[in-house]
């Protein structure tokens, strides 16, 4: 697979699985330059029966994550497809942790801020320990499925994959 092309220059704040270099490499066939940042005024939630988080505005919270630099147009299109209809990409302001520089970037925000499946606080380190390997495998399946005429969305791919994992005896954290 060749590197995705297109104009480079998008900056994207990520706060969940897309912080992980292995996930980025599977999706983009490279790991973009990344810097640590904080997004204020949002809360990062867990989602019932899902292994990835989301954020919604709350006015007071802070979400730590990474700013991906130099994302191409084609990569952004792929990431939009990966995030699917559950998220909307929005412009936000973040503060870089290393030098307090403020940047306007884009991020993926949960479409339904009143979703009853939102709860608690999602933890990146816990995700790496418990869900990362399966997430990487499901992401590979999503990419493989995109090549098929009857391609599934990321939501459908992940639902099928994690349902099979649960039926095979692995507990899906909820």
Q: Which residue, among 69, 77, 68, has the nearest Cα to 6 in the 3D structure?
A: 77
Question: Is 101 an active-site residue?
Answer: no
Q: How far apart, in whole angstroms, are the C-alpha atoms of residue 45 and residue 146?
A: 28
Catalytic residue among 11, 75, 81, 83: 83
What CA–CA distances, in Å, run from 11 to 3, 28, 38, 134, 172? 18, 15, 14, 27, 32
Q: How far apart, in whole angstroms, are the C-alpha atoms of residue 4 and residue 36?
A: 24
Which of the residues are catalytic? 83
């Amino acid at each position: 697979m060749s590197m995705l092309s297109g104009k480079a220059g998008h900056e994207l704040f990520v706060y969940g699985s897309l912080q992980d270099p292995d996930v980025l490499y599977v999706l983009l066939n490279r790991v973009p330059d990344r810097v640590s940042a904080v997004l204020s005024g949002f809360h990062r939630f867990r989602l019932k029966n899902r292994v990835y988080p989301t954020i919604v505005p709350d006015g007071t919270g802070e979400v730590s994550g990474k700013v991906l630099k130099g994302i191409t147009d084609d990569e952004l299109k792929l990431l939009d497809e990966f995030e699917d209809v559950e998220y909307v990409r929005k412009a936000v302001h973040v503060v870089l942790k290393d030098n307090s520089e403020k940047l306007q970037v884009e991020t993926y925000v949960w479409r339904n801020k009143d979703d009853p499946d939102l709860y608690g606080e999602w933890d990146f380190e816990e995700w790496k320990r418990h869900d990362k390997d399966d997430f990487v495998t499901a992401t590979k399946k999503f990419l493989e499925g995109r090549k098929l005429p009857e391609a599934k969305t990321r939501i459908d791919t992940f639902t099928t994959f994690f349902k099979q994992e649960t039926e095979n005896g692995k507990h899906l954290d909820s």
